[in-house]
Amino acid sequence: MREYRPPTEPYLTEVYADDTLLVFDKPSGLLSVPGRDPAHADSLASRSQEKYPGAMTVHRLDMDTSGLVIMACHPIAHRLLSQQFQERQVEKIYYARVWGELEEESGEIDLPLICDWPNRPRQKVDFEVGKPSLTRWERVAAGGGFSLVRLKPVTGRSHQLRVHLQAIGHPILGDPFYAHPQALAAAPRLLLHATELSCTHPNTGERLHFTSAPDIATFHMDSGL
């Protein structure tokens, strides 16, 4: 297992806060919730609870994935927000830099996924017992042997985007679980970022939309890649 060295600067990036919900921008390398090992106690949840003692986790991002995360301020908000996730009423958009140049402008990846138990926490495609999993993608730019893609997960399986892209031959750069050696060495971290998140405010019914731009230097967004 890799040594856990969560980034501390910035310590906590707050995107939005009211008395019902909170939105944070999680850095790559920080757990969403504490792990069982005391060495893994530092997390987005524990940091947010230092400022907002009642904060409750609604959903998670992988440790290596960066971007937007919603938390609830109290149990009623937690129940209502969790229901939105379960009913697929929350819209999420990710950006990723992947190995290879995608030829098509857009497409879908419809491959059932299940935990690869002997190799936890890895997931795998399994057509017999895997759970239905669907990802829609758009090519934003391609060149130099890489592509920048916009991803919309319709389902929310663990590692879904990472496994789906690996399965079609375009692993995300810097992925320690699914990238081949060349793709792993091509980036200093997993180049997957949760850039947009939309949900309905549990109290007001207003549709909220949050954004977080990927790190320009890391994703090479300034050159289109």
Residues 6+ apart with CB under 8 A from 77: 20, 21, 56, 202, 203
Name the amino acid, one letter, at 36: R
Give the pLDDT confidence score for residue 216 in this predicted structure: 74
Catalytic residue status for 116: no
Q: Which CATH class is domain 14-223?
A: alpha beta
- Nearest-CA neighbor of 7 among 209, 179, 159, 188? 188
Strands 192-200 and 66-72: parallel
Name the amino acid, one letter, at 182: Q
Give the pLDDT confidence score for residue 7 in this predicted structure: 96
Spell out the per-residue pLDDT of the chain, length 225, in tens: 678 999 999 999 999 999 999 999 999 999 999 999 999 999 999 999 999 999 999 999 999 999 999 999 999 999 999 999 999 999 999 999 999 999 999 999 999 999 999 998 999 999 999 999 999 999 999 999 999 999 999 999 999 999 999 999 999 999 999 999 999 999 999 999 999 999 999 999 999 999 999 887 778 765 566
- pTM for the full model? 0.95
Q: How far apart are CA 116 and CA 167, in angstroms?
A: 14
Cis bond leading into 188, ω under 30°? no
Catalytic residue among 42, 62, 64, 175: 62
Q: How far apart are CA 198 and CA 129, in angstroms?
A: 31
Q: Tell me which residue has tokens 């959903």.
A: 59
Other residues' Cβ atoms within 10 Å of the Cβ of residue 143: 11
Q: How far apart are CA 34 and CA 47, in angstroms?
A: 10
